[in-house]
Structure 1
Amino acid sequence: MKKEEKIRLGISIGDLNGIGSEVALKTFEDPRMLDFCTPVIFASVKILSFLKKQYTLNMNFNGIDNTSQILDGKVNVINVWKEGVDINFGEENSTIGAYAIKSLKAATAALKNDEIDVLVTAPINKHSIQSEDFNFPGHTDYLDQELEGNSLMFMITDTLKVGLLTDHVAVKDIADTITPELIQKKVDTIYTALKQDFGISKPKIAVLGINPHSGDNGVIGKEDEEVLKPTIKKINESGKLVYGPYAADSFFGSDSYKSFDAVVAAYHDQGLIPFKTLSFGKGVNYTAGLNKVRTSPDHGTAFEIAGKNKADNESFKEAVFAALKIFKNRQEYLELTANPLKKQPRKPQFKGNKEKQ
């Protein structure tokens, strides 16, 4: 009988002047990681060999030119480019940004073509990636265009999951951006993700207010009374367990979040400040709502420590395990819903991380 293949985990290398390559390589320096998946890094053997020496890592690469040459049990590196690249750690550089996008585009194409199964993206610098060929605020917006579905930034740990109604939107535009249609769409995306990607049969979701104190019955803004409350009521009438709006200032400090499977924040900082305060270094940025699985660590390029061999790879490792678990859960959910009387084995497989179970 043919041995089942491991999950192929693609990695886009991110900004080479930042810590992305460091945390990715440190994660797969541990040979035990190869028991869980087959890593495929989209970059170049030449640049990763340089970085391996920079961080004094003990590992070897299987340099390849296309996905047909991927080998299980190896750290595979697809040569997206072969020329040398000048790295200046800690500096913002548009040329380096262009290589980050080359890596991302190649990895995304492989994901779309089922040549890899999941994608973990190393951090990019949102300013240096901008060009005529790439005009997106970041990974999420690009992947939303390339992959089917409705993307949603979903910050996750085992005990805390925070989704956003608006992500990279200016504060002055938040209230006008949040409409009943947007709320419905984002809550539906989170609800579906909790069921199919995290195995929660009847999710319970909290929604945070837009204004301070959720508007104080209209005294501090009308949006909570006129937009959030009626929309939440309508969603509840459809059978979903969605509650709110809750005042954001006390919601996390009072541990109210522990009573819910997910929390929906109105805007970026309202959700990410408490999430990173409670989970920094262990959290994962998951793009929910797409037809493929993409995760990322919960930190940025960290230019201030780049190249100094000081970066902690815990969040990147968590992003790897999250991608593998979500892939497995989604496959099992889709198989079960397609044929509820018979749960068939799938290919490839993920045995799981016993330390995380």
Structure 2
Amino acid sequence: MSSEKKIKVGISVGDLNGIGCEIILKTFEDTRMLDFCTPVIFGSTKTISFQKKHFNINLNYNGIYKLSETVDGRINILNIWKETPNVDFGKETKEGGKYAFISLKKAVEALKNDEIDVLVTAPINKHNIQSENFKFPGHTDFLAKELTGEALMFMISDSLKIGLITDHVPVKDISSHITPELIEKKVNKMYESLQKDFRIRRPKIAVLGINPHSGDNGVIGNEDDEILKPTLKKIQESGKLVYGPYSADSFFGSDGYKNFDAVLASYHDQGLIPFKTLSFGNGVNYTAGLSKVRTSPDHGTAYEIAGKGEADFNSFKEAVFSAIKIYRNRKEFEKLNKNPLKKLSAKV
């Protein structure tokens, strides 16, 4: 390995009653992960020791009390609380939400201050984390407030990338949220991310219709004809390779998605059901469009198996690898754009 300083991966522990700590510890039980990054877990050595013992995981770590004490190439536990939170696996508790937020808040502060390079978040419970300090539908909206940029929920895997025009919005409100301005904003963010974060020079994007069969020329709703189609035409005229709207019901079964670099779905389940069907366990939730890199696994707290040692850690491991890869791609993109000669030779 080169002596180059490793990327510092900050990790929030999520709900302590879920599978968050289990998948974190299982990921880094494989010491080869330390060849790729230096992890910093935002929690406490007491909490991690309890979880490590419970799951019988063989793992050595370095306990620290400030980020300047981080040891490169080792697993670091930043002690951000002194008490020992009660862990009740599989149960939704206020305490579980409280410490999930403390971990997330401290990790985001470190990210904003460039004390860590990227953030990987373990799953939270969107209900018990709610408080005076956290009034958001989930991680994405909180990060959008804390970090500069416009957030795009972007589900990514090697074979499929799906972003959302609307994310955590009730079904009854979806059509009222979809405006030409929002469509343009999300398409532009996806296009920019594909170029900057995934090194795709001229991205090709498919957009899924709002209504069944994209409205069937107004027979099943007029939002596709009146809002989506004119907006996509305008975006196409600007030179972007954006196509649609496509009927969502047949788009994935016919392998239509394989002809594109990414797909933009109109709403949450339209995008996440096919993504999790095709990529579950290997997919990653990436918050694109922000000034910093944040990823997470493609699943929730999984209370039903919490504490049993059954959690699959592959999605979390992929989230770590994706964060590292995107961080490096961004750095390379910045270098190319600062050096016109390199940029020109890359185009030739």
TM-score normalised per structure 1: 0.95
Paired letter, 1:337: N
**Does 2:121 align with 1:121?**
yes
1:31 Cα deviation after fit: 0.4
Partner of 2:193: 193
- Once residues 174 and 115 of structure 1 are traced to their aligned partners in structure 2, the CA distance between those partners, rounded to angstroms, is 38
**Does 2:279 align with 1:285?**
no
- Once residues 137 and 227 of structure 2 are traced to their aligned partners in structure 1, the CA distance between those partners, rounded to angstroms, is 27
Task: Among all aligned residue pairs of Structure 1 and Structure 2, give the percentage whose two residues are the same amino acid.
Answer: 70
Partner of 2:175: 175
Partner of 1:354: none
Partner of 1:236: 236
1:73 Cα deviation after fit: 2.0
**Does 2:274 align with 1:248?**
no
- Once residues 209 and 342 of structure 1 are traced to their aligned partners in structure 2, the CA distance between those partners, rounded to angstroms, is 39
Partner of 2:317: 317
Paired letter, 1:243: Y
TM-score normalised per structure 2: 0.97
Partner of 1:48: 48
Alignment of 1:332-343 (within 5 A): 332-342=332-342
1:96 Cα deviation after fit: 1.3
Paired letter, 2:259: S
Give the secondary-structure state (helix, strand or coil) at the position aligned to 1:111: helix
**Is contact 2:6–2:73 with CA below 8 Å preserved after alignment?**
no
- Once residues 185 and 42 of structure 2 are traced to their aligned partners in structure 1, the CA distance between those partners, rounded to angstroms, is 33
- Once residues 312 and 45 of structure 1 are traced to their aligned partners in structure 2, the CA distance between those partners, rounded to angstroms, is 23
1:340 Cα deviation after fit: 2.7
Give the secondary-structure state (helix, strand or coil) at the position aligned to 1:187: helix
CA deviation profile, 1:58-78 (whole Å, cap 9, x unmatched): 111100011100001211000
Q: 1:243 to 1:342 in 2, by over 3 A?
A: closer
Paired letter, 1:4: E
- Once residues 313 and 158 of structure 2 are traced to their aligned partners in structure 1, the CA distance between those partners, rounded to angstroms, is 18
CA deviation profile, 1:297-323 (whole Å, cap 9, x unmatched): 000000000000000100000000000
Alignment of 1:44-193 (within 5 A): 44-193=44-193
1:126 Cα deviation after fit: 0.2
List structure 1 runs of 4+ shifted beyond 3 angstroms: none
Partner of 2:219: 219
1:339 Cα deviation after fit: 1.4
- Once residues 134 and 315 of structure 1 are traced to their aligned partners in structure 2, the CA distance between those partners, rounded to angstroms, is 26
1:342 Cα deviation after fit: 4.9
- Once residues 93 and 125 of structure 2 are traced to their aligned partners in structure 1, the CA distance between those partners, rounded to angstroms, is 9
1:3 Cα deviation after fit: 3.8
1:294 Cα deviation after fit: 0.2
- Once residues 340 and 292 of structure 2 are traced to their aligned partners in structure 1, the CA distance between those partners, rounded to angstroms, is 22
**Is contact 2:86–2:95 with CA below 8 Å preserved after alignment?**
no
CA deviation profile, 1:273-295 (whole Å, cap 9, x unmatched): 00000000000000000000000
- Once residues 61 and 82 of structure 2 are traced to their aligned partners in structure 1, the CA distance between those partners, rounded to angstroms, is 15
Paired letter, 1:173: D
1:272 Cα deviation after fit: 0.2
Paired letter, 1:141: D
- Once residues 341 and 301 of structure 1 are traced to their aligned partners in structure 2, the CA distance between those partners, rounded to angstroms, is 48
- Once residues 3 and 257 of structure 2 are traced to their aligned partners in structure 1, the CA distance between those partners, rounded to angstroms, is 43
CA deviation profile, 1:73-117 (whole Å, cap 9, x unmatched): 211000010111110000001111010000000000000000000
* Aligned-pair Cα RMSD in Å: 1.0
**Is contact 2:195–2:201 with CA below 8 Å preserved after alignment?**
yes
- Once residues 270 and 137 of structure 2 are traced to their aligned partners in structure 1, the CA distance between those partners, rounded to angstroms, is 19
Give the secondary-structure state (helix, strand or coil) at the position aligned to 1:341: helix
CA deviation profile, 1:168-223 (whole Å, cap 9, x unmatched): 00001000100000000000000000000000000000000000000000110000
Q: What residue ranges of structure 2 are gaps of 5+ in the alignment? A: 344-348
Q: 1:263 to 1:342 in 2, by over 3 A?
A: closer
- Once residues 82 and 309 of structure 2 are traced to their aligned partners in structure 1, the CA distance between those partners, rounded to angstroms, is 25
**Is contact 2:17–2:87 with CA below 8 Å preserved after alignment?**
yes
Partner of 2:346: none
Give the secondary-structure state (helix, strand or coil) at the position aligned to 1:218: coil
Partner of 2:294: 294
Give the secondary-structure state (helix, strand or coil) at the position aligned to 1:18: coil
Paired letter, 2:245: P
1:4 Cα deviation after fit: 2.2
Paired letter, 2:11: I
- Once residues 147 and 335 of structure 2 are traced to their aligned partners in structure 1, the CA distance between those partners, rounded to angstroms, is 21
- Once residues 36 and 278 of structure 1 are traced to their aligned partners in structure 2, the CA distance between those partners, rounded to angstroms, is 27
Partner of 1:272: 272
Paired letter, 1:113: N
